[in-house]
Structure 1
Amino acid sequence: MTPRFDPQEFALSINRRTFLGQAAYGLGGLALACLIDPKLLRAADSAAVDANAHWKGIVNPPHFPVKTKRVIHLCMAGGPSHLESFDYKPKLKELHDKPFPESFTKGQQLAQLQNTELKARGPFCEFKKWGRSGQEISEL
């Protein structure tokens, strides 16, 4: 025997927060579907015309032949960041190839090879004064 569905009891069990949450899930699903296939919400007659078109994914291929076939992207710790190569640090230039002072690294975890001494690395390119302000910026 199946339980009888009571609409009044169901209406009392749902509050505004639940309703808005469920509606947000529906809108999110609709948005994701439109990102995957932008032609999803077009009129029915235009959908019939595009029925034989092949789906190309989220991003359509470029209008020119690509040279690159594969990309390997590595995220590795320990390399200089874009900030390290942009701002001039005169103290770092003084400490080039010398052991890093303990006061610089106190309480911080650093990425380095095990059993190797941590040495300071000075700037690998020249810094010059640029623009009206004369701020020293890397040649990069």
Structure 2
Amino acid sequence: MDTDVLEIDTARRRIVDLTDEVRSFCRTHQDGLCNVFVPHATAGVAIIETGAGSDDDLLDTLERLLPRDDRYRHAHGAPGHGADHVLPALVSPSVTVPVQGGKPLLGTWQSVVLVDLNSDNPQRKVRLSFIGA
């Protein structure tokens, strides 16, 4: 298995497009699977369309589903931080993409994104791993 770790700062953006980094990582391989994993308890990875409003729609939906208030038992950190710990149940901490000829087999409008609503920790690591066929 080949692996690499990306260092991502999410201080100014809550959805970060990782597609170019995933493509670059896969370029040095042939056929297999690329796993994108975020080893944090308050972030996730998704495959969505970006740039056409879907990323903002995702943020709006997550804010409605996970309001920032005092309802959470996990109560340390910024107000509503407990919601950050529920996020990975809705946005998985990993996705796996098939790769053929060094190219991730994403659909025309699909992008791999990091989703991070947690303002307490903007420094994130994303692990890319490749397993050959």
Same fold by TM (over 0.5)? no
* Rg (Cα) greater in structure: 1
More helix by share: 1
Q: Which has the higher contact order (CA 8 A, sep 6+)?
A: 2
TM-score bucket of the superposed structures, by smaller chain: under 0.3
